[in-house]
Amino acid sequence: MSESIVLFLKSTAISQAMSSSRLLWPLCETLHFIGLALLVGGAGLMDLRLMGFLKSIPVAAVMQMRKWAVLGVLINVITGSLFFIGAPAQYINNPAWYGKLLFLAVAMINIAVFETTQGKRVLALAAGENTPVSFKVAGAVSMGSWFLVLYFGRMLPFTGNAF
């Protein structure tokens, strides 16, 4: 089954463009790195504040970084999808890819749960206030899951290339 998916994806125009262009893959890598910087910079700052660090900064001010983190995620989802379509054999049977997807899902679920249950409450915290345990847990889960997304992404070239 996975071999047929690989063959199908390799036959697409996107895959052909990714593999034949000398500039497209490096451009996507550059954009992916920019997306990572936006994501890690924005989410990392928010996570640190949620975990109780940087208390001199109001949580509402730190949460303004969300839009940059979201932009980083969008850039990375687009470029990551192009990488997958461009070289499906590198990913389809690679345990690191599945680890990356797993922790990406954990990060997204954590964000959704936090935003829907604590979104308004988080904005009420002033500078100097400590964050509740639920915020600390959400920040730690977020930071840990994003770290593991990065780790497994970095391990992709070194593990499990089956084709």
Whole-angstrom distance, CA of residue 53 vs CA of residue 45: 9
Contact 156, 97 (CB under 8 A): yes
Question: What percentage of the chain reaches a pLDDT higher than 70?
Answer: 97
With a cut of 70, say whether residue 2 has pLDDT above it. yes
Is pTM, for the whole model, over 0.95?
no
Q: What is the pLDDT of residue 161?
A: 60
Residue 8, pLDDT above cutoff 60: yes
The three-state (H, E, C) secondary structure of 36-98, written as one string? HHHHHHHHHHHHHHHCCCCCCCCHHHHHCCHHHHHHHHHHHHHHHHHHHHHCHHHHCCCHHHH
pLDDT tens digits along 119-150 = 888 888 888 888 999 999 999 999 999 999 99
Distance of alpha carbon 132 from alpha carbon 145, whole angstroms: 20
Mean pLDDT to the nearest integer, 89-108: 94
Kindly report the number of other CB atoms within 10 A of residue 93's CB atom.
16
| Nearest C-alpha neighbor of 94 from the set 104, 84, 86 | 84
Amino acid 145: pLDDT: 97
Q: Quick check: 76 pLDDT over 50?
A: yes
Write out the H or E segment, with its range, that includes residue 122: helix 95-123
Burial degree of 10 (CB within 10 A; 0-12, 13-18, 19+): middle
For position 119, what pLDDT does the model report? 82
Task: Tell whether the model's pLDDT for residue 163 goes beyond 70.
Answer: no
Note the pLDDT tens digit of each residue in 33-44: 999 999 999 999
Residues 15, 82 contacting (CB under 8 angstroms): no
How is residue 74 written in tokens?
């969008």
Domain positions in the chain: 2-158
pLDDT exceeds 70 at position 162: no
C-alpha distances in angstroms, 153 versus 51, 91, 103, 157?
A: 25, 10, 11, 8
